[in-house]
Homo-oligomer: A and B are copies of this chain.
Amino acid sequence: MGGDHGPPVVIPAVVRAIAGLPENVRFLLHGDEPTLTAALAKHPQAARRMDIRHAERVIAMDEKPAQALRRGKGTSMWNAVEAVRDGQAVAALSAGNTGALNGISKLILRMCVEVDRPALVASIPHSCGVTTFLDVGANVDCDAARLVEFAIMGEAYHRAAHGVARPTVGLLNVGSEEMKGHEEVREANRILRQGTIDLDYKGFVEGDDITAGSVQVVVTDGFTGNVALKAMEGAAKFMYGELRGALTSGPVTSLGALLARSSLLRFRDKMSPPPAAPLLGLNGIVLKCHGGADARDFAKAIRAAADVAQSGFAAEIERNMRRLPAALAPAAASADGAA
């Protein structure tokens, strides 16, 4: 029921996505039963692989998270997350209210790590793929252990979402030398360097490595990540605006722009990020699709959710998380020794 459009986008999207997915992938649709049944009537083939779960209420896109939590029980969003907790679904996908989805997911599934809130992941395009970049805003204050948790979760997500056997991981800093940066980032680097955590860790990376694709997963705290993400979005938006201005500034250049139009559209398409992002750190898989998604975007988000659901994502995170206490202990000891 979520997103700016609701069933008129969600139903065509799920019909579109299901055709390309293995037979064993099935869907639970949470929402108003009459609306959903009517929308599915024209798609009997797809409808066979879906169950409708009626919900009396929905959470509005502009509802405050605190209010959504109080009156969330029985809404379509609540039920979708509850189905993950109860083992009826492997993953939940919503295009609804982001703050509400965060709060409800945390309340129902609980965190599997010690961060305050599910980490937010951005997928940044680069010339030959996508960089998984986290945390982009949920957790502002992060100590070294939190950064290592982000590395573990981000790496497992990148493998699940992009089918890369062993993604490379870097820690965002202001230089690549060991003594650079503040204490938290240097300590996280020491922990990851030990090799106790099973990751292909490449060391420190810098801000321009995010779009250079130097590593596949870039880890940082929620303050730096949020600022960097928005700074990149701002730079891209500014460049796009200037470019449009430059290309339409005279009759000859306008003709040029017209001739280059299809290339510019392909370019713009490549610059727009994937439509689904996971909430990382929960005991269960929840993905967020952006609210303005059309049926094509939402179908992509469904395929991404199905990929993650079918992977050993949660088990892999758990496997590495169990190594974390051991990894932290010697690091603390050596830090004491150095002091």
A-side interface residues toward B, CB under 8 Å? 125-127, 137, 140-141, 172, 174, 180-182, 206-212, 220, 222-224, 226-243, 246-247, 249-250, 252-253, 255-264, 266-267, 270-271
Taking the closest CB of chain B, its distance from the CB of A126, in whole angstroms, is: 6
Q: Chain B: which residue is nearest A263 at the CB level?
A: B246
Check A255–B246 contact: CB distance below 8 A. no
Q: Evaluate whether A260 and B257 lie within 8 angstroms (CB atoms) in the complex, with A174-B137, A206-B227, A236-B235 already known.
A: yes
Q: Evaluate whether A259 and B255 lie within 8 angstroms (CB atoms) in the complex, with A206-B230, A207-B227, A234-B210 already known.
A: yes
Q: Chain B: which residue is nearest A266 at the CB level?
A: B246
Report how many copies the assembly holds.
2
CA distance A262 to B222 in the complex (A): 41
Taking the closest CB of chain B, its distance from the CB of A111, in whole angstroms, is: 20
Check B181–A207 contact: CB distance below 8 A. no
Chain B CB within 10 Å — which of A125, A212, A235 has the most?
A235
CA distance A127 to B227 in the complex (A): 20
Residues of B within 8 A of A226 (CB): 174, 206-207
CA distance A99 to B244 in the complex (A): 39
Residues of B within 8 A of A262 (CB): 253
Residues of B within 8 A of A210 (CB): 231, 234
CA distance A329 to B226 in the complex (A): 31
Residues of B within 8 A of A241 (CB): 127
Check A207–B233 contact: CB distance below 8 A. yes
A141 CB contact (under 8 Å) in B182, B246, B270 = B182
27 A-B residue pairs with Cβ-Cβ distance under 8 Å, sorted by A, are A126-B238, A137-B174, A140-B182, A206-B227, A207-B229, A207-B230, A208-B231, A208-B234, A211-B231, A212-B234, A224-B224, A227-B228, A228-B231, A229-B231, A231-B231, A231-B235, A232-B235, A242-B271, A243-B264, A246-B266, A249-B263, A255-B256, A256-B256, A256-B258, A256-B261, A257-B260, A259-B259
A256 CB contact (under 8 Å) in B249, B259, B266 = B259
Q: Chain B: which residue is nearest A172 at the CB level?
A: B227
Check A267–B238 contact: CB distance below 8 A. no
Check B224–A227 contact: CB distance below 8 A. yes
Known: A210-B231, A239-B239, A243-B264. 7 other contacts (CB 8 A): A126-B238, A172-B227, A207-B234, A220-B227, A231-B235, A235-B235, A253-B259
Check B223–A182 contact: CB distance below 8 A. yes
